[in-house]
Structure formats: C-alpha cells, structure tokens
Structure 1
Amino acid sequence: MTGVEFLASFLRTGRLHGIGIGSTLGEVDRAVRHRFVDVVDEEGRSLRRDYGFVEFYFNHGNAWVMSGGSIELHRLASGPDGAEDWARTTGVEFPRYVAWGDVRDALARVPGAPELEVGDQGGFLEYRAAASHVSVIVVDDEEEERGYHAGHGDVWSVSLWAPVRAS
C-alpha cells in the first residue's frame, strides 16, 4: 500500500493498522511490529511510543490506552531510512515528500470520505476531519522549497486526537 492510500484511509477511519483512540498497548503491539522507544512521564501517567516518524500517545488508567498519535512526515525529507524500515515492517511505503494534493485526490476516491474544515496555522494550513478525529498540517509558505524539509503544499504531519468528552 502506498503512504498516500494509507493516509486517505486514516483520514476516513481514524484507524492505523486497525488501531486508534481507545486501543490498548497490547493491541498496538499486535498491530504494529516495528522497533520503538517508550518514554513515560515522571508521574507514570502518560506514555509516548516513538517508532521514528510515527508516534502514539497513551494514558494510564487500568491499562495503557491510546489517546492520540502522529505521523511526522516532515522527518522523511531528511532521509529515507525511516520510511524504508516502516515499509519493511508494515507494508506501507511512504515517499520522501507527501504532496497534500495527492492525499486529497486519494481521499476523494474513498467512499464516505469526511468533510474537512480548513484553518490557518501561520505558515501552515490545518485540514481537520472532525468525524475521524484526524488533522493534517500542510506547509502553506510559498517560499518553502523541498530539501531537507517538506516544501510548499507538502504534508508536514498527520495527527489523531481524542474527542472531547462532555462533562
């Protein structure tokens, strides 16, 4: 699967390899077989699992439960090693740069694609899919060229966030 197809599916479902908000650490371990580093906060209440350019965040209650995640695509511009390792373990192949236009075109072909709200983030645009709790940050500075970082029109990152619960 291409990274663009993967991102379009993620925007539609809010799920990565079948996991998402509320998944347990054990479910993540079964779904993603890739090397990682765990970073637990000093109080032992939150965990960040870092797979390189992909990170998942967990809160601790009775068990570690996923509360969010991010795909830091801008990290791929400085070198393809992370993408090659990820492709080997997950079957998803990301290019060095991911153009938002390519993701948007792929999303248009996905049945039930969510509506996207657009916001300005000062040099970036945020495309937010409220239905799936996924947002995409895109470089919006026309002066930014591709090099060791993403350029104008490229996806900077994609984030999964937990819905706000009414009290």
Structure 2
Amino acid sequence: MDELDFYVTAISAQRVLGLGMGSSLEEVTHSFGKDFVEDVHGPLLRRDYGLLEFTFHRYDRWKCCLIGVQVHRILWGDNEVIPDAVSAKYGSFSPHLAAATLSRALEARGVDLDGAARQTFSDSIKMSLVELGVEIIVLKGQDDERLQGDVWSIHLSEPKRPQLT
C-alpha cells in the first residue's frame, strides 16, 4: 500500500486506520499514541497528530466528529508529520498530492469528484461530497504555481443523510 491508498481509503471509507466518526479518545490514543497537541474549545476537543487532526464532541463521552488530513503539512514538516502508525502501513509520503491524481484513484473506487459541490474562494476550491461527509480543499496556486491543483486538506465528518419529505 502507498500514500495514494491512504488518501483514497480515508475518503471512501471515512476512516483512518479503522478510526472514524464515533471513535473514542481511548481508541485514537491506542492507535496513534500520546505524542499530540490538544486543545479544548467548549464542547469540542482537538488532537493534532501532524498530518492528522481528530476533533471530538463531548456527549456522554468524547466521540470523534471530524478527522482532518492536513496534507499541506508534509510540505514543511517532511515525513516527520506522518504518524508512525500511518507510515508503518503506507510508507513515505510525497509533499504534493495532485487533485487530478486523487480524483482518478477515487473514480476507480467508485467515488466521483466530478459531481462534488464546488465552492470557489480566492485561493482555493472546496469540493464537498455531502453524502460521504467529505470536503477536499484544492489550491488554485496563486501565490506559488508549484502548488496549483494540489490538495491542501481533506476533512471527514458524519455523512449528511437525505431529508425525508
């Protein structure tokens, strides 16, 4: 398995190494260890493991409600930002992830980014697959052409269910 498998599996399964929405703090700690930065804002707690951020909401217990894959951090942190559990399974990661490459790999798994809702900003495009609970931020590359079309981040959350009328 390689880094592209990591990204495609995270998006298509909405899970990272078996962890997803509803996972507990203990489960994340068991998989990724105690080397993290943590902050709490009201009912939300965020654990930052470098490439990965897990956000939890306090219900009867802390439950994961968002997973952020901060692809851009590899540019500045090299592979040091990749948690050991991820690199053990997927190897080293390139500092660039082209959205076109990701799109082709997702299409091979039955996930079509062409149908994603798009929201355009001055420096990026947000593609949302609400039925999967996935948002992908792609850079326009205005400040640095080398980054044009690169994935900045991927966010996994609870899929939106269609409203019954």
**Same fold flag (TM > 0.5):** yes
- Residue aligned with 2:67, SS: strand
CA distance in 2, matches of 1:12, 1:129: 10
Cα offsets for 1:22-78 (capped at 9, x unmatched): 11112222333462122122x4x2100010131110011211001112111112112
1:102 equivalent in structure 2: 101
Task: Please give the root-mean-square deviation of Cα atoms over the aligned residues, in Å.
Answer: 2.3
**Mind listing any 5+ residue stretches in structure 2 that lack a counterpart?**
none
Q: Are the counterparts in 1 of residues 39 and 46 from structure 2 also a CA contact under 8 Å?
A: yes
TM-score norm. by structure 2 comes to 0.82
**Structure with greater contact order relative to length (CA < 8 Å, sep ≥ 6):** 1
1:156, distance to aligned residue in structure 2 (A): 0.5
Instruction: Decide which structure has greater helix share.
Output: 2
Shift in CA distance, 34/137, structure 1 to aligned 2, threshold 3 Å:
farther
1:37 equivalent in structure 2: 37
- Residue aligned with 1:107, SS: helix
Shift in CA distance, 145/82, structure 1 to aligned 2, threshold 3 Å:
farther
Q: Are the counterparts in 2 of residues 53 and 82 from structure 1 also a CA contact under 8 Å?
A: no
CA distance in 1, matches of 2:93, 2:15: 17
1:58 equivalent in structure 2: 56
**Mind listing any 5+ residue stretches in structure 1 that lack a counterpart?**
none
The equivalent position to 2:151 in structure 1, one of 135, 138, 155, is 155
1:36 aligned partner, one-letter code:
F
2:65 equivalent in structure 1: 67
CA distance in 1, matches of 2:159, 2:9: 19
Percent pairwise identity: 28
Where in structure 2 are the equivalents of 1:121-140 lying within 5 Å?
A: 121-122=120-121, 123-140=123-140
CA distance in 2, matches of 1:33, 1:95: 23
Cα offsets for 1:119-156 (capped at 9, x unmatched): 1331312222223211111112466323xxxx001001
Q: Are the counterparts in 1 of residues 136 and 154 from structure 2 also a CA contact under 8 Å?
A: yes
TM-score norm. by structure 1 comes to 0.81
CA distance in 2, matches of 1:117, 1:164: 14
CA distance in 1, matches of 2:108, 2:160: 29
How many aligned residue pairs are there? 157
